[in-house]
Chains A and B, each alone.
Chain A
Amino acid sequence: MSVKLTTRQVGDVTVIDAAGRITLGEGSSAFRDTIRDLIAKGDKKILLNLGEVSYIDSSGIGELVSAFTTVTNHGGVLKLLNLTKRVQDLLQITKLFTVFEVHEDEAAAVRSFA
């Protein structure tokens, strides 16, 4: 299955719950559209929950990076939540742990935006 994205509001933080695969094609374009819509609505604090993401390829990593730069360039902040071991490995290999702020606890992650 490709990625399924649902958004919810926790205070002034928008949480995107992602599930499935973020890979070249449908998965990555759905992700891009969601970020674009949130930016258009003026959402500035975005927490991306990757806990149910089973697979990300290099194209999906590119989408995460693109989301990060898009949100940052619009004056917002994007953080990551609940990385699986496999996604953690990918961020280590690609050195993107140095770029993304990563949280394991949603409540603490939401508080960190304050």
Chain B
Amino acid sequence: MADQDRGVTPSVDMSLASTLESVDNAEELVLKAAQEAGVDEDELHRVGMAVREAMVNAVVHGNRYSANKIVRLTVSIEPDRMTVRITDQGEGFDPVEVPDPLAQENLLRQSGRGILLIRAFVDRFHVRRVEPSGTEVTLVKYLSRPS
């Protein structure tokens, strides 16, 4: 089943303003949820960073700091995974169109590494357009719990 259609009630479901303060708040909320779900310290850092990068994309590139647009953050915990969903109300983007930051000619570009880091730090990453306007990014971290 697709991660966005699993029908799990989120433990966090918030609407956040399009500000850098919301980026910090979202990272903190997700870290708290991840810690409670048993994610270890190194992985916490990686999850937090992935959330931060996705939130920056939503606030800066999606909603462009608009006071009239919000970012929705949901966190769902299941026995085997944590799912974080971040949805903006911007014009949307296609991750395929982001220049490859690992290509030699792009190594010295100042920006464009956020999605690379998200992909590196979570187990699954989906992007989809939402109607009427916006982008929903889903991050999944699988949980390994002591048996």
Contact = CB atoms under 8 A, between A and B. Distances in A.
Contacts, number: 51
Interface of B is mostly: helix
A3 B68 CA distance: 31
For chain B, which range describes its interface: under 10, 10 to 19, 20 to 34, or 35 or more residues?
20 to 34
A95 B106 CA distance: 11
A65 B49 contact: no
A96 B112 CA distance: 13
Nearest to A57: B52
Interface residues of A, number: 22
Interface stretch (B9-17, B88-96, B114-122, B124-132): B114-122
Contact of B113 (A58, A66, A98, A99): A58
Given A24-B20, A24-B60, A95-B102, A66 B110 contact: yes
B56 A94 contact: no
A58 B118 CA distance: 10
